[in-house]
Amino acid sequence: MGRFVVFEGGEGSGKSTQARLLAQRWNAVFTFEPGGTAVGQQLRQLLLDPETGDLDARGEALLMAADRAHHVATVIRPALMRGRDVVCDRYVGSSLAYQGHARGLGFSEVQVINDFATEGLAPDLVVLLSVPEDVAAARLALAGKPDRMESAGVEFHRKVAEGYAMLAAHNPHSWVAIDGTGLIEEVEQRVKAIVESRFPPEVAQ
């Protein structure tokens, strides 16, 4: 099995950039959620289009889990089984922070539907990138029109950050929180140091 690393964080945390950089460095499969498959793109459209309007929280959690089930079955697990490393931009942690904590469904109920969706496939490491609210807001201001989740309001995104912090604190073996402030290269060095300590390079024989 290859190594499975996930990047998590709120909007504007820079995790997508860092996920791509690690995937390049490892020559890993890079993928993302929601929308990492053709079917997933349709679910992503539904989930993120502001035109969708309010979605029942359970419906939202199930649609995220449906995207993930198809993604795991057709992209992530087959790649890992072939021995490829996989770097994924968002995974179950996003559903726990956004739907579980910020939408108020609770971690345990959201975990249950995700265990079903993923058949229990858990990442070897989750890298959580955190930035203060003002840094995230400044980065987002450059990103154009907000999607449905980005428009959910300051309080919602505070809850997301709180949910992530709880997850990292409760899962110290699999989660690591990294300061996402500063230049891309600076954050990259922090990520690299952590990843190398978790997955030491194989000693040449």
Task: Return the number of the residue (147 or 199) whose C-beta is nearest ligand TYD.
Answer: 147
Q: Exactly one of 3, 5, 11, 79 binds ligand TYD (CB under 6 A); which one?
A: 11
What is the Cα–Cα distance from 86 to 125, expressed in whole angstroms?
11
Q: Does 95 participate in binding ligand TYD (rule CB under 6 A)?
A: yes
Shortest separation between residue 161's beta carbon and ligand TYD, angstroms: 12
Q: Does 8 participate in binding ligand TYD (rule CB under 6 A)?
A: no
Please list, in sequence order, all residues whose beta carbon lies within 8 angstroms of the beta carbon of residue 13, skipping any fewer than 6 positions away.
Answer: 129, 130, 131, 136, 180
Q: Does 117 participate in binding ligand TYD (rule CB under 6 A)?
A: no
- In this structure, the dihedral spanned by the alpha carbons of residues 31, 108, 156 and 86, taken in order and rounded to 10 degrees, is -10
Shortest separation between residue 3's beta carbon and ligand TYD, angstroms: 20
Give whole-number Cα distances, 198 to 77, 79, 135, 174, in Å. Answer: 21, 21, 28, 10
Task: Return the number of the residue (166 or 199) whose C-beta is nearest ligand TYD.
Answer: 166
Q: Exactly one of 4, 30, 98, 175 binds ligand TYD (CB under 6 A); which one?
A: 98
Q: Does 16 participate in binding ligand TYD (rule CB under 6 A)?
A: yes
Give how many residues touch ligand TYD by CB under 6 A. Answer: 13
What is the Cα–Cα distance from 56 to 24, expressed in whole angstroms?
37
The CB-side HSE value for 157 (13 A sphere, CA atoms) comes to: 20
Residue pair 86/29 in contact by the 8 Å Cβ criterion? yes
- For 88-112, b/e burial (b = at least 16 CB within 10 A) is bbbbbbbbbbbbbbbbebebeebee
Site string for ligand TYD, 158-197 (x = CB under 6 A): ----------------------------------------
Task: Return the number of the residue (96 or 195) whose C-beta is nearest ligand TYD.
Answer: 96
**Residues in touch with ligand TYD (CB under 6 A):** 11, 16, 33-34, 48, 64, 90, 94-95, 98-99, 149-150
